[in-house]
C-alpha cells in the first residue's frame, strides 16, 4: 500500500529533493559557524545566512534583511515577539483562530505581566468579515490596547483573514499589527508594507518547504526598535559586552543558528521563486475544490460536516471534517490502516478555533494538501472517507 500524505498543515512532505541535498552539502562541505571566524568557510556560512535573510525579506516585502531574525521555528519567534514587545498591563486583540503558539504565551503573559486579550468576532465560516473590521474591533479597544495579532490562515479550517483591512484599522488607531504566517507563507502572496504589518512570524517547514527547526521573525522598523530579547547569549559580535548587542539581528539571535536548516530553507525559497507562489496557490485551490465537491454528497446525506469557508478563495488547502456517525479518531485510523492515508485528528493545537466553530471538544479530521499533493490522492481520500462512512465496520 502506498503512503498518501495529507498532513501538510503539520509539516510539508515531500520537500523538493534539493532541500535535503543542501542540508547535507552544508554539513559535509562547509560546516562552519557564523560570526565566529574569518576563514573562508565561515565567510561562506555568513553569505548563506545573509542571502537567506534577503530572500525572506523579499518574500514578505520587509524593510531590510537585517530585520529578519532566525530562530528554531515560529513557536520560538512568536514567544520572542509577544514577550519582547508586550508590557505590563497591555491588552491585545486576537482572532479566535490563534494557535497555542500564540495563546499559551499570552496565557503565561497574563500571569507574569497581567497582559489581557479580547477575541475579534467572526462569522459562521470563521472569517473576520471584509468591510466589518472597524465595526467589530472598535468596541473591543481599551486605553491599554497595544496590538492586534492574527493567524493569517487557520490551521484547522483553512480560513484566510483579511490582513490588509485589519492593517488599515491598526494604522488608523495606532496599534501594532502582528501576523502568524505558519499556514500562509509560501501559499499566499504577501506584502508587509501594504498590509501595514509591524511584524510577522514564519516557519520554514510548512508551505516554505524547508526542513524542520528553522523559522523566524520579520520586523518592520517600529517593532525592530522596540523589541527586547527573550533569550540572551553569545552572538560572536561585541563580545566585550555582557549585554546583548543593540543592533539586529544579533539582539535577538543568541547562540549558534541552525545553519543546515538555513541551507535547506535557502534552496526551498529558490524553488518557490522558480515555481511561483501563485501557481502553488492555484494547485492547492484546485485540489481543495475537488475534495469539497467529492465530499458534498456525503455532506448532503448528513454523514459529515465541513465547517469553514464554503469558497476556496477564502481558504488555504486545509479541510476539516466532522463525522457524526463515527468517532473521528477511529475514522482517521481506518483511513491509515486500510488506505495508507495520513491525516491528523483532534484539536490541532487550536482549541478556541473549535469553540468558535462548534467542533469543541470532539475535534475534526483534518486533510491538508501541499504543493506536491496529486489530484488522484485527493480523490482517493474522498472515496476512502466515503467508504468508511457508508460501509459498516468489519
Ligand X SMILES: Cc1ncc(COP(=O)(O)O)c(C=O)c1O
Q: Rule CB under 6 A: which residues touch ligand X?
A: 73-75, 99, 101, 151, 155, 180, 182-183, 203, 215
Minimum CB distance to ligand X, residue 191 (Å): 20
Complex with ligand X: residue 157 or 339, whichever CB lies closer: 157
Cα separation values, 221 from 43, 87, 164, Å? 27, 19, 18
Instruction: Tell me if the bond preceding 187 is cis, omega within 30° of 0.
Output: no
Distance in Å, CB of 201 to ligand X, minimum: 8
Minimum CB separation from ligand X for residue 353, in Å?
9
**Closest separation between CB of residue 289 and ligand X, Å?**
22
The neighbour count for residue 138, using CB atoms within 10 Å, is 11
**Cβ-contact 15, 209 below 8 angstroms:** yes
Give me the sign of the Cα torsion angle 130, 132, 133, 136: negative
Return the number of the residue (205 or 382) whose C-beta is nearest ligand X: 205
In whole angstroms, the minimum distance from the beta carbon of 215 to ligand X comes to 6
Query: What nine digits make up the cell of 230?
Result: 527573550
Of 180 and 377, nearer to ligand X (C-beta) is 180
Q: How far is the CB of 204 from ligand X (least distance, A)?
A: 8
DSSP code per residue over 316-381: -SEEEEB-TTS-HHHHHHHHHHHH-EE-EEE-TT-HHHHHHHT-TTT-EEEEE--TT--HHHHHHH
CB of 96 to ligand X, least distance (A): 13
Structure-block grid coordinates of residue 310: 464554503
Reference 78, options 89, 66, 63, 94; nearest CA is 94
Length of the chain: 394
**Residue 182 or residue 332: which is nearer to ligand X going by CB?**
182
**Whole-number Å distance between alpha carbons of 39 and 166:** 47
State residue 275 phi and psi, 5-degree precision. Answer: -75, -40
**Distance of closest approach, residue 76 Cβ to ligand X, in angstroms:** 7
Between 86 and 160, CB nearer to ligand X: 160
Cα–Cα dist 151/155, whole Å:
9
Which of residues 45 and 185 has its CB atom nearest to ligand X in the complex? 185
Complex with ligand X: residue 99 or 354, whichever CB lies closer: 99
Across 127-253, where does the E strand assignment appear? 145-151, 176-180, 199-203, 215-219
Q: Output the CA torsion 21→23→25→29 (10° steps).
A: -170
Q: Is the CB of 73 or the CB of 264 nearer to ligand X?
A: 73
Burial class for 124, CB neighbours closer than 10 Å (0-12, 13-18, 19+): exposed
Q: Compare residues 32 and 231 and give the one whose CB is closer to ligand X.
A: 231
Q: Which is nearer to ligand X, 81 or 388 (CB)?
A: 81
Report, in Å, the least distance between residue 85 CB and ligand X: 18
Contact by Cβ (8 Å): 258, 204 = no
Q: Which is nearer to ligand X, 73 or 245 (CB)?
A: 73
Q: How far apart are CA 154 and CA 321, in angstroms?
A: 14
SS3 270: helix
Amino acid at each position: 500500500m502506498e503512503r498518501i500524505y495529507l498532513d501538510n498543515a503539520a509539516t510539508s512532505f515531500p520537500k523538493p529533493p534539493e532541500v535535503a541535498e543542501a542540508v547535507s552539502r552544508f554539513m559535509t562541505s562547509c560546516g562552519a559557524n557564523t560570526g565566529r571566524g574569518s576563514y573562508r568557510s565561515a565567510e561562506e556560512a555568513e553569505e548563506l545566512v545573509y542571502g537567506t535573510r534577503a530572500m525572506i525579506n523579499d518574500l514578505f516585502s520587509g524593510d531590510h534583511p537585517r530585520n529578519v531574525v532566525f530562530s528554531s521555528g515560529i513557536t520560538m519567534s512568536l514567544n520572542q515577539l509577544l514577550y519582547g514587545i508586550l508590557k505590563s498591563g497591555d491588552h491585545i486583540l486576537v482572532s479566535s483562530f490563534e494557535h497555542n503558539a500564540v495563546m499559551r504565551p499570552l496565557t503565561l503573559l497574563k500571569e507574569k505581566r497581567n497582559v489581557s486579550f479580547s477575541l475579534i468576532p467572526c462569522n459562521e465560516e470563521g472569517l473576520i468579515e471584509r468591510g466589518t473590521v472597524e465595526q467589530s474591533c472598535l468596541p473591543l479597544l481599551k486605553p491599554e490596547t497595544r496590538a492586534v495579532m492574527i493567524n493569517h490562515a487557520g490551521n484547522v479550517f483553512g480560513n484566510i483573514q483579511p490582513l490588509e483591512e485589519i492593517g488599515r484599522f491598526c494604522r488608523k488607531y495606532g496599534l501594532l499589527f502582528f501576523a502568524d504566517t505558519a499556514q500562509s507563507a509560501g501559499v499566499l502572496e504577501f506584502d508587509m508594507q501594504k498590509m501595514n504589518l509591524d511584524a510577522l512570524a514564519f516557519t520554514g517547514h510548512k508551505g516554505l518547504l524547508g526542513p524542520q527547526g528553522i523559522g523566524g521573525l520579520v520586523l518592520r522598523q517600529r517593532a525592530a526598535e522596540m523589541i527586547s530579547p527573550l533569550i540572551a547569549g553569545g552572538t560572536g559580535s561585541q563580545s566585550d559586552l555582557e549585554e546583548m548587542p543593540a543592533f539586529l539581528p544579533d539582539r535577538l539571535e543568541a547562540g549558534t543558528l541552525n545553519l543546515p536548516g538555513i541551507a535547506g530553507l535557502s534552496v526551498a525559497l529558490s524553488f518557490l521563486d522558480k515555481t511561483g507562489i501563485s501557481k502553488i496557490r492555484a494547485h492547492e485551490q484546485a485540489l481543495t475544490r475537488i475534495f469539497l465537491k467529492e465530499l458534498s454528497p456525503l455532506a448532503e446525506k448528513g454523514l459529515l460536516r465541513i465547517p469553514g469557508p464554503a469558497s476556496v478563495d477564502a481558504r488555504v488547502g486545509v479541510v476539516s471534517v466532522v463525522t457524526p456517525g463515527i468517532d473521528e479518531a477511529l475514522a482517521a485510523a481506518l483511513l491509515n490502516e486500510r488506505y495508507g492515508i495520513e491525516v491528523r485528528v483532534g484539536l490541532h493545537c487550536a482549541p478556541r478555533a473549535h469553540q468558535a466553530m462548534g467542533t469543541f471538544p470532539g475535534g475534526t479530521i483534518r486533510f491538508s494538501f501541499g504543493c506536491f499533493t496529486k489530484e488522484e490522492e485527493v480523490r482517493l481520500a474522498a472515496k476512502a472517507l466515503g467508504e468508511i462512512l457508508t460501509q459498516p465496520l468489519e
